[in-house]
A and B are shown apart, each in its own frame.
Chain A
Amino acid sequence: MIWRFLNNRLPKFQSLLPVYAVIVFMVYTWTIYAFIRFLPYWLRFLNVTEILAIFSYAMLSDCLESLGFIFLLLVSCVILPARFLRNTFAVRGTVMAVCLLGAIIVYMNGYAKNGTPSLLSYILWSLAILAVAFLLSFLAAKIRFVISAVEWLSSNMTIFLYIYIPLTILSLLNVIFRNI
């Protein structure tokens, strides 16, 4: 009974994969970008093996982070009526992922320049992001052009899974090797 309930509430794998690919792309690419920013600092005193170790830990963290993010979307699928998210998961899931992760990335850049914000502006920003993400994801599934564009984008993003998943496996092996 629970299985049937979940089966009715959770999206199909074909819809899930492109959304996960978008999340993986954003999470991993941000980490690699930040990693490159840090690289000159580490190169001053760490050797290549050590820098690869940091990279491996970061990749594993990204793996958990992307799984956590897709898990949250799946929980939303279960909670919300099927017509809101489950039936249009590829489009609305992608838009939500892009909006939420994109907003965080924009925020990161702002923080890097302006320092830690006040709690109020932080909360307002977070609520605004959520509202915009919900609104855009709602609108996205209503406009045919947007639907096809988002589907095209997310399905093309799956190519990054072929890069980032092996990278994660190699990172896992490196971490296991360093900790045994």
Chain B
Amino acid sequence: MFKMTRRDLLKWATFSAGTLLSGAQPAGRPLSNHKNNKPNIFILLFDAMSARHLSLYGYSRRTTPNLERFARRAAVYHSHYSGGNFTTPGTSSILSGMYPWSSRAINLGGLIQRDLAGRNLFSLIGNEYYRVAYSQNLWADLLLRQFNADIDYHFPPSAFKDIDTSANLFLGKATSPDSIMTFYAFDQFLPFGGIKPYKWSGSTSIGYIDNFLRSARKTLGTKSVEYPFGLPFNGWYDFDIPTVLAGVSDLIGKLSAQNQPVFGYFHLWAPHEPMNPRKEFVGIFPETKILKKPHHPLSLYSASLKDYVQLYDRYDSYIAEVDDEFGKLLDHLESAGALENAYFIVTSDHGQLFERGEEYHATPLVYDPIIHIPLLISSPGGMTRQDILTPTSSVDLLPTLLNIVGQPIPRWAEGRLLPGFGGQPDGSRSIFTIEAKDNSAFKPLTEVSISMIKDNLKLIYYKGYQNYNKIFELYDLGNDLEEMHNLYKKDVLTASQLKSELLNALYFADQPFNR
């Protein structure tokens, strides 16, 4: 499946020649020969990977033997939470170090507030580093496009595969001068395809042709002996995980060998739905018992326990495939010595929710499986495992990485240094997850779900939903990780204290928008 694109990338990484770059992408800048002792930093993000489905964190099915292998040399964060419950807020929290209610990256396919776009890891890490970014998720790629001025080489979403026109007519150039607006126009509005809020095409002919291609894809399908459920699909193009991960693996290996230190962000679509594992991973797990949970009033679906059994099977198999490919990447990096001078980070932007009537993550709910994500950080040459149990947040990565590279931590950063990398466990700290996709990014939040985790307690606040307004739920995650016993009316004193803190935090977050 590797074609010219990948070879070009390898050539580029090997020779770092400006001449190659100039022909490939306008925003690309060549690597320099500047040598210093700073470590490389690589973030590998697996989209929609819930910590609750990883055997690394104690899940009953052995889904992640290779992540467990990697964990032997890494700091493993057991209570790590995303800033949001879908791509835009989840990714922006990592890259901007701000909660979504501050960055205002809250909407489906939304953006960070324009005057805050300079607050990002690429900018703050500085140009001593060669900064590389790649995202298979187009919504995450939109955020990267906001940071284009601070990224030395921004790979287009289709970089590690052939552009598959069967599913997409107008996959925008990630680095064209007006790449964000051309995305909304040509990738979202004019064709039928892509992930968007309305199934409308803005153009008669383009819509008709695009829909013909999609209809052909739907009818002919991408199912095969190797892919019994069809090829993985990111809403714009089909791909296969081995190809993409091998491409990323080769690139990281080559980048690691350069003189200039490299900061690389790689955002991979899998195990995001549609969950289409290869044949060898289908049905590999024994039956698992799923706890029946009550349907939530805000659930958009009404999936049954039987549906959940199937979803668990598909999701777990898919994670197992991702883990298997990650194992190959790990082998490659270990044999190339790429981990000897690098901080290597594995995380996700959000999880998945297969309970209470919900499926996947298009939901106002913020229960544990959808916000509890993996975080593993291996240090240069690290050979020991460190388990961190204290709650941490995706906004903590920015200050931690800045501390690692010796850059000052800005005052606006909402995260803290991660324990194990200069930070101390702090049980009194509150961790937030914000879901506000239907709000205006320019006004105070009126319809919002917020999770606040403090020590082992978790308070959920639902505000502004029709027939579900100003509702609180309180759970003791230490004894009730499944969030089955709402303590809000039982532990009144604790609930009152946490409620006051959460409402205060929301009040201050809304302040700049109270005009």
Residues of A within 8 A of B (CB): 26-27, 30-31, 34-35, 37-38, 41-47, 50, 53-54, 57-58, 61-62, 65, 68-69, 101, 104-105, 107-108, 111-112, 115-120, 122, 126, 175, 178-180
Contact = CB atoms under 8 A, between A and B. Distances in A.
B160 interface: no
Contact of B202 (A34, A45, A46, A101): A34
Contacts of B178: 53, 175, 178-179
Interface in B164-190: 176-178, 180-182, 184-186, 189-190
A176 to B, nearest CB: 11
B185 A58 contact: yes
B181 to A, nearest CB: 4
Nearest to A69: B205
A79 to B, nearest CB: 20
A35 B216 contact: no
Interface string B203-247: 111111001101110111000000000000000000000000000
Contact of B198 (A38, A46, A115, A126): A38
Contacts of A43: 440
B111 A45 contact: yes
12 contacts: A27-B203, A38-B197, A53-B178, A54-B185, A58-B190, A58-B202, A58-B203, A105-B204, A108-B201, A108-B207, A116-B215, A178-B181
Contacts of A41: 107-108, 197-198
Greatest chain B CB density within 10 A among A31, A65, A68 is at: A31
Interface residues of B, number: 44
Contacts of B104: 45
Given A38-B189, A111-B192, A119-B218, A44 B440 contact: yes
B212 A38 contact: no
A67 to B, nearest CB: 11
B292 interface: no
A118 B513 CA distance: 47
Nearest to B200: A34
B349 to A, nearest CB: 18
Contacts of B440: 43-45
Most B-side CB within 10 Å, residue of A26, A65, A122, A175: A122
A112 B206 contact: no
Q: Give the interface centre of B104, B178, B214 by most chain A CB atoms within 10 Å.
A: B178
Contacts of B114: 47
A46 B181 CA distance: 10
Nearest to B220: A119
B63 to A, nearest CB: 32
Interface in B428-450: 438-442
- Listed residue (B181, B204, B218) with the most chain A CB atoms within 10 angstroms of its CB: B204
The 3 A-B residue pairs with the shortest CB-CB distance, nearest first, are: A57-B185, A119-B219, A53-B181
Contact of A101 (B110, B204, B438): B204
Nearest to B185: A57
Contact of B204 (A46, A104, A112, A178): A104
Contacts of B182: 57
Most chain B CB atoms below 10 A, which of A26, A30, A43: A30
Contacts of B108: 41
B293 interface: no
B4 to A, nearest CB: 27
Interface in B443-499: none
A37 to B, nearest CB: 6
B205 A65 contact: yes
Contact of B200 (A38, A44, A54): A38
Report which residue of A50, A61, A112, A178 has the largest number of chain B beta carbons within 10 angstroms of its beta carbon: A61
Contacts of A26: 204
> Most chain-B CB neighbours within 10 Å: which of A26, A30, A54?
A54
Contacts of A115: 199
A31 B203 contact: yes
Contacts of B438: 44
A47 B441 CA distance: 10
A30 B204 contact: yes
A179 B178 CA distance: 6
Given A119-B220, A178-B181, A61 B211 contact: no
A117 B215 contact: yes
Given A111-B211, A116-B215, A38 B110 contact: no
A119 B202 CA distance: 22
A26 to B, nearest CB: 7
A143 to B, nearest CB: 27
B206 to A, nearest CB: 7
Contact of A31 (B107, B202, B218, B442): B202
Most buried by B among A26, A111, A115: A111
